[in-house]
């Protein structure tokens, strides 16, 4: 197996937590969160999270491999979830 290959059926606990946070958002909150993402993550997040299209369909449309799409979605979910959480407790900066 190459370094960039991984099993799409294996779920990392942190990924599962981020997915739950993002799944709990209203459609308006999700779309607002996606609009604030870096441009390169917006199409992937919109295709999978908003339009509910398959990973295969979205990766083909974007011209990327599915592992790249999985990484983009992980980044997108992480950014959206961290923005919702705000700064860590005790952080006065």
pTM: 0.75
Q: What is the pLDDT along the chain (93 residues), one digit of tens a residue?
A: 454 555 555 667 777 888 888 889 999 999 999 999 999 999 999 999 999 999 999 999 999 999 999 999 999 999 999 888 765 555 554
The contacts of residue 12 (CB under 8 Å, 6+ apart) are none
Element (H, E) at 92: none
- Topology (CATH level 3) of domain 13-85: Arc Repressor Mutant, subunit A (1.10.10)
């Amino acid at each position: 197996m190459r370094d960039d290959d991984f099993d799409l059926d294996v779920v990392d606990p942190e990924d599962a937590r981020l997915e739950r946070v993002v799944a709990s958002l209203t459609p308006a909150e999700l779309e607002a969160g996606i609009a604030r993402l870096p441009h390169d993550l917006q199409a992937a997040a919109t295709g999978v999270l908003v339009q509910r299209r398959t990973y295969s369909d979205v990766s083909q449309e974007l011209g990327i491999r599915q592992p790249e799409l999985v990484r983009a979605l992980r980044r997108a979910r992480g950014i959206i979830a961290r923005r919702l959480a705000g700064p860590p407790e005790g952080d006065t900066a």
